[in-house]
Amino acid sequence: MMAGSGCNAQKLEATKDKKKIQMTNTKPTCVAVEEDELREAIDSYQGWCTNCQAFTHDSSEPDAENYECPDCGRDTVYGAEQALLLGKITLA
């Protein structure tokens, strides 16, 4: 597994294709998540914390934003789908 390769691929895609498929927020952190893990997270409504860089929040809506993280206490939890959409995470 090459962690971080997705981020580079994303940049290449953006220049190669004229139309942007993904919104690329200029966030330095872009974490690769296994597809199985992401699918499970979506199915079970887990939230992704951009601070912990892990799924820490149970029962968050798929489009949740800025939920409070039970681990670090910051409002940095995004729904699994939302996190993917915003480029917080990428598929490994």
Which chain residues interact with Zn ion by CB under 5 A? 49, 51-52, 69, 71-72
Angle, vertex CA 63, rays to CA 28 and CA 16, nearest 5: 45
Counting beta carbons within 10 angstroms of the beta carbon of residue 78, is it exposed (0 to 12), middle (13 to 18) or buried (19 or more)?
Answer: buried
Minimal distance, residue 68 CB to Zn ion, in Å: 9
Closest CB to Zn ion among residues 11, 58 = 58
The residues near 26 (Cβ < 8 Å, ≥ 6 apart) are none
Minimal distance, residue 9 CB to Zn ion, in Å: 26
Closest CB to Zn ion among residues 9, 52 = 52
Closest CB to Zn ion among residues 30, 69 = 69
Distance CA 42, CA 61 (A): 9
Minimal distance, residue 54 CB to Zn ion, in Å: 7
Closest CB to Zn ion among residues 14, 72 = 72
